[in-house]
Structure 1
């Protein structure tokens, strides 16, 4: 039987969340990654829509969104590799996960997309690495349309990019408050989906080592972005996010490749 197939647009944080989950669970998976816009066609082929993504195809079954994917596959993992504990702790993990996924991540998306879309060469590897060979040449021609579609669909603007930094900073405040009593993880002594989701959601805006989203190197981005990235990277929450990658992500993943 074929391994589950992860279908998504290549640069999405949700792609790396799912990759990391499958790695941590010790489960094989396949990928069907696509340049933005082209991913809509791929999802339609698998009887899903853009609002469903990411999608995991497992035989005749479709698991849509991070929440549905993790709810299905996490109980199948060995007990010591599960990311969502049973009982009340599990409910707290899901509540924290939802915040970092739905709220804080939007700030990362607004700031990074708005600024990187201005520099095609910086975002191109993230858009195209691992996608079908026909897509990058077409995307070269269609890049103005892809850029316009992302700006429109994500509500990108200078003002929202500035708000995005504040949203991320509030998320970092939340993490630092949780860790202030010396606990090693957000919910106590155990690495959970909340820690993973926070780290992945913060990874693009601190250019975390180990993030598999093919982001540019720090030295390549404009100086104003470097200032923001370094400030967040050096905060306790930024250090925590990097530590999650160092401790719990395969070393073969690389932010810049």
Structure 2
């Protein structure tokens, strides 16, 4: 990847899975980028003013990328075949995996996590505001109910939905358990692909890996295990012990900060 260009500009909502996936993808491709993180409702305002359509807006020069999927395809096209996250021979599998891991698993995790954590203001202020300007952090601290209700209503959250989402999460984790049962290194063999990143990022709130959120060796925009309610801590400990959970922890430990620049 060329690295003599001006840094790519990123607008993101710090705790979103797409924001984290976008960070990982850009780091993997060796792309220098400058990220501006905002909390709610400020992110929605800035995103709309700049023509964004999702929880991530990425600008590479004059090119505007309005989804993390667009970011992947844009930079994958510039990458050597042996390092592509979407190998030509696995294009169909990558599309299927994207839907299963990013859309279905990711959506279920969002509903499960926010339903269970939004009632705890003291836990959620840091994840919702990490990296945001001080005025936005001040706003969330003193008017927390506004971003809370924005998320609650936009995601149509409820206890019943969260319980159903946990069933989906466990089903997808079991599917990955089966894939890994033959000892493969990654979901599609011996090389890292988009499927691995999508699963690891979407499933991260269920196992709380280190290195999450672009803050190497830091906590990032995700609560600690001790901050979770006790009943949820038991779920997280159990998910960490599954092959799929161990896989996420390994990817974050070994691959989160590896780049194509590391290869000769």
Q: TM-score w.r.t. structure 1 length? A: 0.91
8 Å CA contact 1:122–1:215 kept in 2: the answer is: no
Shift, 1:64, TM fit: 1.4
What is the CA–CA distance in structure 2 between the aligned matches of 1:58 and 1:134, rounded to whole Å? 28
Residue 231 (structure 2) aligns with: 224
Say which of 238, 241, 253 aligns to 1:246: 253
8 Å CA contact 2:14–2:127 kept in 1: the answer is: yes
Shift, 1:78, TM fit: 4.1
Residue 48 (structure 1) aligns with: 52
**What SS does the corresponding residue of 2:31 show, helix, strand or coil?**
coil
Say which structure is richer in helix: 1
What is the CA–CA distance in structure 2 between the aligned matches of 1:101 and 1:108, rounded to whole Å? 10
Residue 233 (structure 1) aligns with: 240
What is the CA–CA distance in structure 1 between the aligned matches of 2:44 and 2:224, rounded to whole Å? 29
Residue 140 (structure 1) aligns with: 141
8 Å CA contact 1:24–1:81 kept in 2: the answer is: no
Q: Is 2:33 the counterpart of 1:29?
A: yes
Say which of 4, 8, 17 aligns to 2:8: 4
What is the CA–CA distance in structure 2 between the aligned matches of 1:147 and 1:228, rounded to whole Å? 23
Residue 160 (structure 1) aligns with: 161
Residue 98 (structure 2) aligns with: 97
**What SS does the corresponding residue of 1:219 show, helix, strand or coil?**
helix
8 Å CA contact 2:123–2:227 kept in 1: the answer is: yes
Shift, 1:142, TM fit: 2.6
What is the CA–CA distance in structure 1 between the aligned matches of 2:143 and 2:59, rounded to whole Å? 28
Q: Unaligned regions of 5+ residues in structure 2, if any?
A: 214-219, 259-264
Distance 1:133 1:81, change over 3 A: farther
**What SS does the corresponding residue of 2:77 show, helix, strand or coil?**
helix
Q: Is 2:67 the counterpart of 1:65?
A: yes
8 Å CA contact 2:125–2:140 kept in 1: the answer is: no
8 Å CA contact 2:58–2:64 kept in 1: the answer is: yes
Shift, 1:103, TM fit: 0.3
**What SS does the corresponding residue of 2:204 show, helix, strand or coil?**
helix
Residue 208 (structure 1) aligns with: 209
Q: TM-score w.r.t. structure 2 length? A: 0.89
Could you tell which deviates more after superposition, 136-145 or 158-167?
Answer: 136-145
8 Å CA contact 2:14–2:221 kept in 1: the answer is: no
Q: How many residues align?
A: 248
Could you tell which deviates more after superposition, 178-187 or 166-175?
Answer: 178-187
What is the CA–CA distance in structure 1 between the aligned matches of 2:98 and 2:33, rounded to whole Å? 22
8 Å CA contact 2:208–2:224 kept in 1: the answer is: yes
Shift, 1:2, TM fit: 2.8
**What SS does the corresponding residue of 1:48 show, helix, strand or coil?**
coil
Residue 77 (structure 2) aligns with: 75
